[in-house]
């Protein structure tokens, strides 16, 4: 999984410099009503990182990949990411993903590719896997990276 870990850090590093150069005050402004501001997007990616780290570790310890979901809108709202410091948020986001990359790099290949018939990626995946098809930990990791890239592309 070394290649997935490198892919994750390449995505984070590529956007970190761009994000760090953004003016702090502009990051609190949502592009339209009902849309997240850049701070809220990064806050969501922090929440996603925290949840996915737990999933990645648990998938190495358990035979299935059935994980709790979370109400992303409420998590973002209740943590008031729009009111947080931009530099604090992007530093936290970068640090969490660095830790995830290290964790991913250590996943044994047989664990990463073992098919799991019991999973709920049909409900919690970014790009879902039908319930009747097996899923792998490698798929979960790559789905996480795709989700991260998707949201980073939403920040102008």
Sort 53 into a burial class: Cβ within 10 Å, 0-12 / 13-18 / 19+: middle
Distance CA(78)–CA(22), nearest Å, equals: 24
- Whether residue 31 lies inside any domain: the answer is no
- Whether residue 32 lies inside any domain: the answer is no
- What pLDDT is recorded for position 82? 95
* pLDDT tens series, the chain, 156 aa: 999 999 999 999 999 999 999 988 899 999 999 999 999 999 999 999 999 999 999 999 999 999 999 999 999 999 999 999 999 999 999 999 999 999 999 999 999 999 999 999 999 999 999 999 999 999 999 999 999 999 999 998
CATH number of the domain bearing residue 75? 1.20.120.450
Exposed e or buried b for every residue in 116-134, given b needs 16+ CB within 10 A? beebbbeebbbeebeeeee
Residue range(s) defining the domain that contains residue 55: 2-24+41-152
- Whether residue 79 lies inside any domain: the answer is yes
- Whether residue 33 lies inside any domain: the answer is no
Beta bridge partners of 25: none
**Closest C-alpha to 156, from 19, 40, 11:** 19
- What pLDDT is recorded for position 24? 84
Concatenated DSSP letters of 112-138: HH--BSSB-HHHH-SS---TTS-B-HH
- Say if residues 46 and 92 touch (Cβ distance below 8 Å): yes
- Whether residue 30 lies inside any domain: the answer is no
* The total number of structural domains that make up the chain: 1
- What pLDDT is recorded for position 127? 98
Paired tokens of 28: 């609190």
- Whether residue 93 lies inside any domain: the answer is yes
- Whether residue 67 lies inside any domain: the answer is yes
Q: What is the pTM of this model?
A: 0.95
- Whether residue 90 lies inside any domain: the answer is yes
Paired tokens of 103: 């964790």
Straight-line distance from the first to the last Cα atom of the chain, in angstroms, rounded to the nearest whole number: 31
């Amino acid at each position: 999984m070394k290649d997935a870990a490198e892919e994750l850090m390449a995505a984070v590093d590529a956007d970190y410099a761009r994000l760090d150069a953004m003016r702090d005050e502009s990051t609190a402004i949502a592009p339209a009503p009902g849309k997240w501001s850049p701070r809220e997007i990064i806050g969501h990616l922090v929440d996603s990182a925290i949840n996915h780290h737990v999933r990645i570790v648990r998938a190495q310890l358990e035979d299935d990949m059935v994980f709790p979901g979370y109400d992303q809108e409420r998590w973002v709202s209740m943590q008031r990411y729009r009111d947080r410091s931009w530099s604090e948020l992007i530093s936290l986001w970068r640090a969490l993903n660095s830790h995830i990359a290290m964790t991913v790099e250590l996943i044994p290949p047989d664990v990463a590719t073992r098919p799991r018939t019991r999973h709920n990626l049909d409900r919690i995946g970014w790009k879902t896997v039908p319930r009747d098809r097996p899923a792998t930990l490698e798929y979960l990791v790559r789905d996480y990276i795709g989700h991260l890239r998707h949201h980073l592309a939403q920040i102008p």
